[in-house]
Structure 1
Amino acid sequence: MHLHAQCHKVLKLSRFCCVVQTQRFFFRKVINALNEHINEKTQEHRESFQNWSEFQNRGFKRPEYMRSWVIEEYGSPQDVLKMENLNTPNTKITSNIDARRSYLYQAVNHPNDVLVKVHCASINPIDVRICEGYGRRLFNFQRDVLFNTIGGLLRPFKSVQERFVEREFPLVLGRDFSGTVVDVGTRVADLQPGDEVYGAPSLFKFGTLADYVCVDLNEVAQKPATCSHIEAASIPYVGLTVVSALRNIVVKGKSPKNALVLGGSGGIGTFAIQYLQSYGYSVTTTCSTEGIAICNRLGADCIDYKTQDVDKAVLEGDKFSVVFDPIGAASPEWAGQCLVNCGSYVSLRSPIVELSDKYGPLFGFSASMSTLVKKKLQNTSINVDWAFFKPDRPALLEVARIIDGGLIKPVVHPSNIYQFEDTPKAFKKVEEGHTKGKVVVNVSGLPEAVQKPNVEKIFHL
């Protein structure tokens, strides 16, 4: 009996030793894993700092000032537009606490920011309208909500607060850009200094007619590899506007794949024609006599509104599944006559901005939504929608892919390319209206702004 008890104790002790040994092995594995993770993070910080250090010594030195075309009051571009030297975007924060934490040395404000040296920027009709005061109340409301709220929270820290407050004036104009990345925030993983990019900032933000522009990651992407900066700068604003208007429609691919584009020779029209064709649509467009050559070259059937009866030509032909109206020339009632059942009428001329300027953002938005609901109820046989420009990085990448695939070609006539000093002339050209294709400003004046990439080399990579 005594021997049996001794054996039982020995067995329990051996089991306890096994458990302890197992736990020690488990904890040793956990500790080793943590050590590996810490070592990886340390190495990551070291490499991050090394990359930053190497970039700092590559010869790029952020200038204190940059040339910018700005307005300090609203009015005609010829009266209020002027060139100024503004501070280059910079909210660099330095600290001696931990030099290896490279995000303390960023020349950008937020982790998602990208600082770009602008080679080229294009001018759109919206730039002329913003210069004249279009969207003043709505865009200022957006600035107040997104910037002044943050600034208010940082009021006790005056020097930091100034970095977060975006003021209305001086207001830099311009929507599109194409250029080279010179700095990125710590959350930007797929862009690095030296990358060639294109994009368009939000309408309420400072524009792109400047030597440098700081944008959010959602507003920028790698530019089409087959385009020069002149060509790439002509794309973002019109491309994002068209994609926001037509992407859901073309993806569904409702039959028949016939589309009518009103005003097809302008910047948005030429892009819309090609975008629809890239998804298999046959496109008919209205344009002036001068625009027929461009639209025919893009493969669209043209209706000359100067010499032909548009109503007769449109209504007597085959019906369309899409009517795209970027110029506000039609109405849902008119479009309903030439659309198939459940076809789509999409207009870019919504009253949201005008009503917001008149009644304020909240009442203006409510009135606009009421108008849209009314239009939908009055035209139940078709889909009525309004479209807007909005930053969209996946859309920029999609557009770049389609362009590099040869399905869309930028339309920039040599006579519509201006030097940075001649920006007022470019505004005047857009202000006069009826431009064919896009108007582009060569901001940097450097050779890489106009050089065409080696397309054969790109296709063989």
Structure 2
Amino acid sequence: MKAFVIDNYKGPIHAAQVPTPVVGPRDIYVKVVAASVNPLDQLVRSGEFKQLLKYQMPLILGHDVSGVVTDIGNEVTDFAIGDEIYARPRDLRIGTFAEYIAIDQDDAAHKPATLTFAEAAAVPLVALAAWQMLVEKAHIRPGQKVLVHAGAGGLGSTVIQLAKHLGAYVATTAGSGSTDLVTSLGADMVIDYRTTDFADVLSDVDLAIDAVGGGNLMKTLSVLAPGGLALGVTGPPDAGFATQLGAPAPFKLVLNLLSRKVRAAARKRGVQYSFFFMRSDGAQLRSLAELYDAGHLRPVIDSTFPFDQTVEALAYVHSGKTKGGKVVITHN
């Protein structure tokens, strides 16, 4: 089958003919109809997690998928041939930039009925991340204050919607050209990062989600309420990340060293910092499908590319030229 692969870390992504996936007893075999691009694809390609996630080369990239089940393993109970699904396959089993993929049934859910395949492919990773941040990590309650940086992006646009659904007051940073978009998604306060320092106009934040890193993350700590939580999407990683991936103890020490500066700054301010890395979860996708079908959440799509232009789609995302939402790759 045709797929888009890398042969080594930091190498170019290119089209290749690869063997069709082997279907395990708990797997569903999916004909890919659409996939979407995430910043995580570039992080994997660059080898950011190579010490913790042992990918085999050549590696098919891609973390989001929607498609149709064409075969099932003999232990599969939740799906049947012909079912329309969406999923974020688990780490070490990614590979949605391909014609077919085998996915553990626990990582998939039936596609939201109201969404097209392209819309559904834009959802899994960012929706799971938003759910795990807001519901699992922060336990957001009505009236609490949430700050999400880069609110027009794929993750930010989803966090805004889910946070509003949970009853939070939502502030976001965005460019002036994205004000209408993030406001339509439910943002209560929009801060133009080009003209205004968010730290000058915001305070007492219960949860801040930072996908920028560096100085922006350190400044974000300053706007948290006592006991507030900052979640870093781009790092620095901490020992909790190593624990999540089941890495040996020495990696926990290394990651704690990498994050010691921001953790020390958080402690000094009486707040918390944690690195966030989402996990696959089909049960959560089922709950999220209900929210999409009820109209509480909606996908935000920047643009679509045909499957043959997967390389161009990744380059477009990496260039930073997206105006808002996700970039989706579709099959004819």
Q: Secondary structure at the match of 2:162?
A: helix
Change (3 A) 1:384 1:75: closer
Answer yes or no: is the 8 Å Cα contact 1:250–1:279 preserved in 2: no
Instruction: Supply the distance in 2 between the matched residues of 1:138 and 1:215 (Cα, whole angstroms).
Output: 21
Question: What corresponds to 1:71 in structure 2?
Answer: 6
Question: What corresponds to 1:112 in structure 2?
Answer: 26
Change (3 A) 1:132 1:343: closer
Answer yes or no: is the 8 Å Cα contact 1:137–1:361 preserved in 2: no
By how many angstroms is 1:373 displaced?
7.4
Answer yes or no: is the 8 Å Cα contact 2:130–2:155 preserved in 1: yes
Question: What corresponds to 1:21 in structure 2?
Answer: none
Letter matched to residue 115 of structure 2: C
Change (3 A) 1:294 1:368: same
Instruction: Supply the distance in 2 between the matched residues of 1:441 and 1:231 (Cα, whole angstroms).
Output: 11
By how many angstroms is 1:118 displaced?
0.5
Letter matched to residue 271 of structure 2: I
Answer yes or no: is the 8 Å Cα contact 1:138–1:361 preserved in 2: no
Q: Does 1:87 align with 2:19?
A: yes
Equivalent of 1:390 in 273, 279, 289? 279
Question: What corresponds to 2:312 in structure 1?
Answer: 425
Question: What corresponds to 1:242 in structure 2?
Answer: 130
Answer yes or no: is the 8 Å Cα contact 1:118–1:177 preserved in 2: yes
Instruction: Supply the distance in 1 between the matched residues of 2:234 and 2:58 (Cα, whole angstroms).
Output: 27
Letter matched to residue 386 of structure 1: F
By how many angstroms is 1:249 displaced?
5.0
Letter matched to residue 137 of structure 1: Q
Q: Does 1:173 align with 2:55?
A: no
Q: Secondary structure at the match of 2:51?
A: helix
Instruction: Supply the distance in 2 between the matched residues of 1:341 and 1:366 (Cα, whole angstroms).
Output: 27
By how many angstroms is 1:303 displaced?
0.4
Letter matched to residue 264 of structure 1: G
Equivalent of 1:367 in 254, 257, 262? 254
Instruction: Supply the distance in 2 between the matched residues of 1:333 and 1:288 (Cα, whole angstroms).
Output: 21
By how many angstroms is 1:372 displaced?
5.6
Instruction: Supply the distance in 1 between the matched residues of 2:152 and 2:301 (Cα, whole angstroms).
Output: 12
Answer yes or no: is the 8 Å Cα contact 2:140–2:168 preserved in 1: no
Gaps spanning 5+ residues in structure 2: where? Answer: none
- What is the aligned-residue RMSD (CA, Å)? 2.6
Letter matched to residue 85 of structure 2: V
Question: What corresponds to 2:223 in structure 1?
Answer: 338
Residue identity over aligned pairs, in percent, reads: 30
Instruction: Supply the distance in 1 between the matched residues of 2:225 and 2:276 (Cα, whole angstroms).
Output: 20
Change (3 A) 1:256 1:338: farther
Answer yes or no: is the 8 Å Cα contact 2:107–2:282 preserved in 1: yes
Q: Does 1:214 align with 2:122?
A: no
Equivalent of 1:266 in 153, 171, 192? 153
Q: Does 1:350 align with 2:235?
A: yes
Please, what TM-score do these two structures have when normalized by structure 2?
A: 0.88
Q: Secondary structure at the match of 1:225?
A: coil
Larger % of helix: which? 1
Please, what TM-score do these two structures have when normalized by structure 1?
A: 0.65
Q: Does 1:229 align with 2:117?
A: yes
Q: Report which of the two structures shows the higher radius of gyration computed on alpha carbons.
A: 1
By how many angstroms is 1:138 displaced?
1.9
Letter matched to residue 322 of structure 1: L
Letter matched to residue 53 of structure 2: F
Instruction: Supply the distance in 2 between the matched residues of 1:186 and 1:343 (Cα, whole angstroms).
Output: 47
